[in-house]
């Protein structure tokens, strides 16, 4: 009897890729949250330096722009995982269960397609910038491919999270 209960519990436990992807997505969400604080401190410091001490930080706006991109892209998959993204549920809440399942399948496939298009196009941009050796214009002179890396990471995580949800929908789970 205990063996049968263990098998039932094991069947309900999340499978390995789900735990791995969810863990990485949650970690990147935490990094995104931390970046909100870093950006807040940077903006506050820049404002104080500019208006109190009349000594503006020249590189501040450029770094904040890079951090904003990283913050958004690292937090996108976590927002999708938690359901905190923008959605229009006026119609979807009224769908019958079979139609709602088709709607979930279509929406997850759409997210996967978006993540794939975003990831491939940014990857092309990164490889071009890397091979060309281009540097950013401004006070912070870094290679232009470096600030684009969080976009690829975010696209991969978003696609992986949507694939997990697609698989769950195909298994009959409602996520």
Asked if residue 54 belongs to a domain, the reply is yes
The model's pLDDT over 65-82, given as tens digits with 9 standing for 90+, comes to 999 999 999 999 999 888
pTM of the model: 0.80
Asked if residue 175 belongs to a domain, the reply is no
Asked if residue 70 belongs to a domain, the reply is yes
The model's pLDDT over 19-37, given as tens digits with 9 standing for 90+, comes to 888 899 999 999 999 999 9
Domain count, the chain: 1
Asked if residue 130 belongs to a domain, the reply is yes
Largest CA distance in the chain: 76
Asked if residue 16 belongs to a domain, the reply is yes
> pLDDT class for 140, splitting at 50, 70, 90?
confident
Residue 136 domain boundaries: 2-83+91-170
The model's pLDDT over 106-126, given as tens digits with 9 standing for 90+, comes to 989 999 999 999 999 999 999
Helices (H), the chain: 2-12, 16-51, 60-82, 97-132, 149-170
Decide if 66 contacts 144 (C-beta within 8 A).
Answer: no
């Amino acid at each position: 009897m205990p063996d049968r209960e263990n098998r039932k519990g094991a069947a309900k436990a999340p499978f390995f890729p789900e735990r791995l992807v969810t863990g990485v997505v949650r970690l990147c969400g935490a990094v995104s949250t931390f970046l909100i604080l870093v950006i807040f401190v940077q903006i506050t410091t820049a404002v104080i330096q500019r208006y109190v001490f009349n000594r503006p930080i020249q590189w501040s706006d450029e770094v904040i722009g890079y951090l904003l991109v990283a913050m958004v892209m690292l937090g996108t998959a976590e927002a999708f995982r938690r359901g905190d993204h923008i959605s229009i549920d006026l119609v979807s809440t009224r769908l019958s269960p079979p139609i709602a399942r088709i709607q979930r399948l279509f929406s997850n496939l759409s997210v996967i397609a978006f993540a794939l298009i975003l990831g491939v196009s940014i990857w092309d941009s990164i490889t071009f910038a890397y091979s060309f050796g281009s540097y950013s214009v401004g006070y912070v002179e870094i290679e232009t491919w470096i600030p684009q890396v969080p976009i690829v990471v975010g696209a991969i995580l978003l696609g992986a999270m949507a694939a997990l949800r697609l698989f769950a929908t195909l298994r009959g789970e409602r996520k």
